[in-house]
Structure 1
Amino acid sequence: MTHTFPRGPAEVPAVVAEIVPEADGIKSLRLEPASGDKMPAWEPGAHIDLVLAPGLERQYSLCGDPTDLRSWRIGVLREPESRGGSAHVHEKLSVGDQILCRGPRNNFALTEAERYLFIAGGIGITPILPMIRQCEAAGKPWNLFYGGREEASMAFRAELTPYGDRVTYWPQNVHGHLDLPTILGTPQAGTAVYCCGPGGLLDAVEQRCEAWPDGALHLERFRPKDGALEGENTEFEVVLDYSGITLTVAPDQSIVDAVEAAGVHIPTSCREGTCGTCETVVLEGEPDHRDSYLTPQEKESGEVIMPCCSRSCSKTLILDL
């Protein structure tokens, strides 16, 4: 018998209702429920999985209006070195096609703060758009610094135009990289920093925010940090406390693979430690964290693990599975 723990995200059969070119190399997709019913509710920062083909599943941030449950909107960048996902969206999807969505999930929720500082790089603008709308509705002060390769590659600018000088555009071909020393040089109490974009930008913002109050910075990654998945792979034992199973994780296995081989299913999505779908409670043992999702404080606590990619520093891990 196969046990499922925890419950996985909802599956939503959808129809591609509209495809709109938003900038050079970027298209938005509007997805409607195939059933004709409403889409599941979501909040700013949420993302969904698109099951594009067998073995081809990708995550995209929702960037539409959370109050509109008739459809979802996502923005997709055509990656120059696509691993298959963005190429499929840009080259194969057409209006009327049916597609399976999973979610929504929110690992990037807008927390309560006095004010907000948004930093977006390229397609990283997508989760920021509904956050700005929420700040506007709540009367919260905010500013956005939006960087891109050039103006022509920066999507959704028409939607940002009404916000005036609260939005600073920073095309790299004109100004170079975002001026993070100025933007983040002075820590501000009561300010929440939200950043989404390429890995290099996230790493730089993370470094600059080390002097900021704990919890001020919020990042979302869709690819692992450089070197995060590297390390020596040795054999170790995993005890599934809930299921009463003890198993061995081989050097060439992930914890998820070993657990699923034992008949216990863990919901996963990215399998690279970026989405948080497989987060599992550690009851005993020392995790070898290789994810790009948990904060340094969360990793130090050792309370949870991402079993899709992380391993064990101790000979045995006891997991709440």
Structure 2
Amino acid sequence: MTQNDRHMYELEYPAPAVGEGASHRPTLVIAMQGYADAGHAVEGAADHLKAALESHPVATFSNDELIDYRSRRPTVTMAQHEITNMESLQLDMRVLRDEEGTSFLLLSGPEPDLRWEAFSDAVADLVERFDVDKTICLYAAPMGAPHTRPLVVSAHGNDRDLVGAMYTFDGMVTVPGSAAIMIERVLHGRGRSVAGYTAHVPHYVAASPYPHATYQLLQSVSDASGLSFPLRALEGDMQRVARQLAEQTADSEEISQVVAALEQHYDREMEDYRERHPNAMMPGEAQTPSGEEIGEAFENFLAAIEDRDRNRGLPSDGSTDTLDDANGDEPGEPSEPS
């Protein structure tokens, strides 16, 4: 740790275990609150993971170094003429374990207002310190998309396995910068595997929590990393929001017309994209396993059958000679009733 890093963050001591040794290198998920958080999807993803899974801090960043309190004033609660509470703005990296017990890292909290370059270098140093396998940054942007169609999560990055068959933008795209994007740039420069996933949130719900976007971001991370997240709790929120939007759309002819126009535009865009990318996984489609994945699953299935038969005393070819011999009979002859 450099002298500069000592002011940037503090490592937890004793440090919790990160990863399961050389056989498992952890994934880092970056989900910071910032401008690119339409529908509060990114903040919701971090909050959901921290609430649903076991977690322990490994590094805590200094607010005095990174936060401009004048632009991000914490909420203060007063009761009976006294200050009783102040909102905590905590930016930290934590180690969590998914539903299968696999560890991963989560960087969450407010996006820094200051010292983005030093912050990005510090995060990249932690990536190398904990031998992170891949880093996935989460974003959410307001888009001209209808809530009545499958939510799009677009991907970008330097790792083909992380981008895979996900939706990608063709050509050149210019967007405002963020601290997470700067981290991507630094990690790419160091030769580390990194990608960004952006949820396309309908622009007319961008100011309110939109659990559909949170769900799809976490599902995309799960698909790419193999991590298992508890997402069932989000499904109830999704159904509630879907009912509210359906009622509001049905009660307003103007809203219905806007949604219908967005549906037509969405359908044309998806049709054009399908023609340009016939092998892409379209929004709302389940990821189709590759031939290698199918073959591996079949081999595992056969191995499980052999292990079961071996434990039962059967030969691996599935015949019953072993059982017949155990009963003292000739192969193929029925035993005498006792």
Structure (1/2) with the larger helix percentage: 2
Larger Cα-atom Rg: 2
Shorter-chain TM-score above 0.5: no
Higher strand share: 1
TM-score, structure 1 normalization: 0.27
Q: Which has the higher contact order (CA 8 A, sep 6+)?
A: 2
